[in-house]
Chain A
Amino acid sequence: MNSKRLMKRETVYSVLGIIPALTIFLAFTYYPLISTLKYSFTNWDGFSRNYDFVGISNFINIFKEEDVIKSFWNTIYFAIASMVLGITVQLTLAVFLYENFKGKNVIRAIFYLPCVISQLIVSLTWLGFFQYTGVINEALRAIGLDKLVVDWLGNPATVKNVLVFINTWQWAGYGMVIFLAGLNSVPADVYESALLDGAKGIKKFFYITLPLIMPSVTVTTFIGITGALKIFDMPYILTGGGPLNASLTLSMSIYNNAFSYERFGYSSSIGLVFFVFIAVVTIIQLRLTRRMEVEL
């Protein structure tokens, strides 16, 4: 009886304890989401007090508008390229910096530093490098390699890869830390047994290390994909979505429709579709990578 009363009291205290956080979470996360859902069925311009319900026409228009479709494919390209290149770089760095050598902590800190810098600062700094008159091209001109000068941000063929490069550079240290934690959790005796069985080098990495650090791969892939799909600041500052919409991302398209074209209702509908898309992609990714995880 006493334990039942104790349990009940604990439940009451737990509920009371969670209420403040839950209230804030509901107010700042779910209320805007529900408002977005409502506006996505309207023609609200984001500024006026009046608006009309327009049914599902906003959702139909998403699949008709060239800019939105282009921004969708740009975002997908950016997410896939950033994820593949990003994880490769992060894992490589982690494997090399896992080894014991003098100064490894300093190098780790150097690689981690860019991810604590604001994306605005990072973008403005790289803008100075990649502009046509930026540091890279000026350096090439100075050493007489004018032929190698490239309009990095002004050429639709190069601009997306420049964005992928900067994103990979900025987040390399972040993923590296997660992979290092994964590598540290692999017991030494597993490696010893593998060595006795003749596993060395690449084989050891692919058959022993990688399966055992799959939880880290799951986490970095999840963070990488969601971050890349939502990318906004960097292309916005570096290119504004140009040239020829080659770097226009879906988040920018949502922003432009809401604040430039004053189509807040339509923009909300893109946001919702995008939200569902990200949710589906991440669920699939989590299932796939978790299936590959190995338990000791």
Chain B
Amino acid sequence: MLKRIVSILCILVMLTALFVGCANNAEKDQTKTDKNMSKEEKNSEENKEPKEVTLSYVSWMTKGEDKPFMKAFMDENPNIKIQDEALDGTDYDKLLKVRLLSGDAPDVMLLQWAQYKKYVTEGHLMDVADEPGMALLAKKETMDEVFTVDGKKYGFPINANGGPLPVYYNKKYFDKLGITPPKTMEEFYQVCEKIKADGVEPIVFGGKDGWPTEFFFRFRQYTGLLDKYPEWGLALYNGELKPSEFFKKEFEMCEEFVNKGYIGKASLTLTWPQSVPYFIEGRAAMLPQGPWVVGLPEVAEADPEKFELACFTAPVDPYADGKKYSMSEVDRLIAVSSKTEYPEEAKKLFNWFISPENLRKYLESQSLTTFLDLEYNVAPVLQEHFKTLSSDEYVLLFSQKAQMPSGFIADAFWNGFQNILAGSTSADELKKLDAEFEKTKDAIVVSE
């Protein structure tokens, strides 16, 4: 008897589920019908009452950096609510890919440059070439070209990183030791020795995250081969060059820093947010990091009696022609999902974000930089650094014909530098780098 009752209950549950499912479909069909309404009908509907919409916005700003910006948008557009979600930056590509593949694509998202062409090829991004906000990109021909795929554009570069990183230091500590910011590598080594003799770690990286170490070493000089191979990705892809040849000097320099005791043991297991207070507390004297450090609350809250933030450009050696060659990359780019249910609202956010007025606010509030023709104020701490990079002395190149998969950059480089911090040799890690490159070679997106 009990079995019969249970069976009947199960069948009832199944039937209910079926009806509910059908009802949902009916609702969806209704939504579809709404979408098919004529413009006039839609306009009259909109005039009655603006439809309330929730957009999902995904970035890797885990410290809540973008929240005030999103709030400003919501204040201006009360019918659009933004669900601001931050994924871990270190695994951003992996996490976002899972979202896209599982049909849970965010309506608007920030992307890293390594993701752009792959996501375009697979049809995940919406063509935004005709959006009014793109006018700013169109003014910068070289960048505009980089973002064009088969005559269409699918994203907008918010900010860029280029050239050697700024190296932050505590001016009060440097003054105490009588140190002036180094301009050459020789001077840099002397500064490190002086700091080491004072019993302080010369440099700290948030090495657990991988990218801070990679940023410092990779954005340097590419073993003096960058002038010959400005399209280095393509050269690697075509086999003209091995990664172990191209990045030889960077790996060797990292090993030298470790062996000489310029990078302390803490760097291997510190995350990048942990490396900032470590530096501010004076446990390490120099922090090579991106320009965003200037806008961090930890810096603003530091005791002015003991700490005064300053920076110098990481010294690099000139090439044979006397110029200093370095690489530049788009850091954050904004894109709209091709699968969004609310294309109009998503594009509204996209255009609002990249309007010159708002983009300026965004860059200034987070102390970011752009290659676009936009006037904005650079934080006083970074002014000298950017002046140096924009001088004739520096040549900043943007490799665009072969887009490396994020796995190559993330796992191969990050692990390589982490392993050197853990005691491995540059020779071993360069060998591994070649092997890792072979693994990811099929995933490189090459454009003609």
Residues of A near B11 (CB, < 8 A) are 16
Q: A133-B270, A243-B419, A244-B422 are in contact. Are A17 and B13 (CB under 8 A)?
A: no
Are A47's CB and B418's CB within 8 A?
A: no
Are B418's CB and A243's CB within 8 A?
A: yes
Are A17's CB and B407's CB within 8 A?
A: no
Q: Is B4 an interface residue (CB 8 A)?
A: yes
Q: A13-B3, A13-B4, A243-B268 are in contact. Are A49 and B442 (CB under 8 A)?
A: no
Q: A260-B410, A263-B439 are in contact. Are A16 and B94 (CB under 8 A)?
A: no
Binary contact track B93-131/A, C-beta < 8 Å → 1, others 0: 110011001000000000000000010011000000000
Task: Tell me the A5-28 residues at the B interface (CB within 8 Å).
Answer: 10, 13-14, 16-17, 19-20
Of B7, B8, B14, B98, the most chain A CB neighbours within 10 A belong to B7
Q: Is B351 an interface residue (CB 8 A)?
A: no
Q: Is B360 an interface residue (CB 8 A)?
A: no
Residues of B near A45 (CB, < 8 A) are 442-443
Q: Is A100 an interface residue (CB 8 A)?
A: no
Are A47's CB and B97's CB within 8 A?
A: yes
User: Residue of A at shortest CB range from B267?
Assistant: A132
Q: Which of the residues B4, B411, B442 comes within 8 Å of A260, measured between beta carbons?
A: B411
Q: A13-B3, A17-B3 are in contact. Are A154 and B122 (CB under 8 A)?
A: no
Q: A151-B268, A262-B443 are in contact. Are A49 and B122 (CB under 8 A)?
A: yes
Q: Which of the residues A10, A132, A240, A241 comes within 8 Å of B266, measured between beta carbons?
A: A132
Are B415's CB and A242's CB within 8 A?
A: yes
Binary contact track B4-35/A, C-beta < 8 Å → 1, others 0: 10111011011000000000000000000000
A-B contact pairs, 21 of them (CB 8 A): A10-B3, A13-B3, A19-B10, A20-B10, A45-B443, A47-B101, A132-B269, A132-B270, A133-B266, A133-B270, A133-B283, A151-B268, A154-B269, A244-B423, A259-B98, A260-B94, A260-B406, A260-B411, A261-B405, A261-B411, A262-B405
List chain A positions with a Cβ less than 8 A from chain B.
10, 13-14, 16-17, 19-20, 43, 45-49, 66, 127, 130-134, 151, 153-156, 240-245, 255-256, 259-263
List chain B positions with a Cβ less than 8 A from chain A.
3-4, 6-8, 10-11, 13-14, 93-94, 97-98, 101, 118, 121-122, 208, 210, 265-266, 268-270, 274, 278, 283, 405-407, 410-411, 415, 418-419, 421-424, 435-436, 439-440, 442-443
